[in-house]
Amino acid sequence: MMHGYGMDGFFGFGFFGLIIVIAMFLILIWALRGNNRNNSQPTENRALDILNERLAKGEISEEEYERLREKIKN
């Protein structure tokens, strides 16, 4: 006679089923925390970063850069 948790000892999941459920829960928490971290940067800073990149790539002139930068800051 076996005592303790066998393959079906923890509500039918078994030990490995429990490990899988815990792993899925941890992955879900990690994914949700990652999404919040990406959205925490203020919109103005992101817009300025994009504007700086466009100037660096030569997509816009310096005059257009200054005009757009003033619009973003106001």
Number of domains in the chain: 1
Q: Is residue 17 part of a domain?
A: no
Q: Is residue 49 part of a domain?
A: yes
Q: Is residue 72 part of a domain?
A: yes
What is the extent of the structural domain holding 51? 41-74
Calculate mean pLDDT across residues 42-52. 84
Q: Can you give the pTM of this predicted structure?
A: 0.43
Q: What is the mean pLDDT of the chain?
A: 78
Calculate mean pLDDT across residues 45-73. 91
Q: Is residue 36 part of a domain?
A: no
Cβ partners under 8 Å of residue 29, min gap 6: none
Q: Which of 38, 48, 54, 55 is nearest to 69 (CA)?
A: 48
Q: Measured between alpha carbons, how far is residue 45 from residues 48, 55, 67, 69 in Å?
A: 5, 15, 16, 11
Q: Hunting for tokens 């948790």 — which residue is that?
A: 5
Q: Is residue 29 part of a domain?
A: no
Q: Hunting for tokens 């103005």 — which residue is that?
A: 44
Q: Is residue 5 part of a domain?
A: no
Measured CA to CA, the distance from residue 11 to residue 46 in angstroms comes to: 49
